[in-house]
A and B are shown apart, each in its own frame.
Chain A
Amino acid sequence: EAQVTQNPRYLITVTGKKLTVTCSQNMNHEYMSWYRQDPGLGLRQIYYSMNVEVTDKGDVPEGYKVSRKEKRNFPLILESPSPNQTSLYFCASSPPGGGYTFGSGTRLTVV
């Protein structure tokens, strides 16, 4: 089954403790992105990648890092999480010019 898999689905952590949210897709898509979704603000892009070793900032990149060492994986790294990064996170992938497929989401709470 074609899908985007994110882990974990839920995470509660403390301020300053580094964490990684993994994302993997099995559709051989070139493009991958991370979004966060907050009430009233909709989905905002954090980082995106057009292919292996090609990443760039989205609209809200502060406090996040990403890497794209393999085509299928695009982890999101929070080096020092803060409470304002409490949010619902989605990973997505697409072929060039195509529609996006989203992962099931990661609900992160930073206390």
Chain B
Amino acid sequence: RKEVEQDPGPFNVPEGATVAFNCTYSNSASQSFFWYRQDCRKEPKLLMSVYSSGNEDGRFTAQLNRASQYISLLIRDSKLSDSATYLCVVIISGGYNKLIFGAGTRLAVHP
């Protein structure tokens, strides 16, 4: 079983739609959680951190459920520019903050 699992998609949605991505992680020692965005053939870029209380950044909302070991990302009012792959990332506690990446969920927003 992969340490971080995501639905690979693709999610094809029209502009203005609301779309949600889910991610599950298996290591209970996971301490920090992030969503990264990766455009085709480019480097991953930090989209937002994920906190237990849930957090919002404009059209993006992230939630964490530690009991179920589940992370989500909600995108409201999708834009064409949101088309990308979204990576769920977990840091395992220990001496080094090792990032474990999910394989990513691809989003395609169409006019």
A: residues with CB less than 8 A from B are 31, 33, 35, 40-45, 48, 50, 56, 58, 88, 90, 92, 94, 96-105, 107
Contacts and interface: CB of A to CB of B under 8 A. Distances in A.
Given A40-B103, A42-B101, A50-B95, A100 B46 contact: yes
Top 10 nearest A-B pairs by Cβ distance? A42-B103, A102-B43, A43-B101, A99-B46, A42-B101, A102-B44, A105-B43, A104-B43, A50-B96, A90-B43
Interface residues of B, number: 20
B101 A90 contact: no
B72 interface: no
The A interface, classified by DSSP as helix, strand, loop or mixed, is strand
The B interface, classified by DSSP as helix, strand, loop or mixed, is loop
B65 interface: no
14 contacts: A33-B99, A42-B102, A43-B101, A44-B101, A45-B98, A48-B96, A50-B96, A56-B96, A90-B44, A94-B97, A97-B32, A100-B99, A104-B43, A107-B41
A45 B43 contact: no
Interface of B: 8, 32, 34, 41-46, 49, 87, 95-99, 101-104
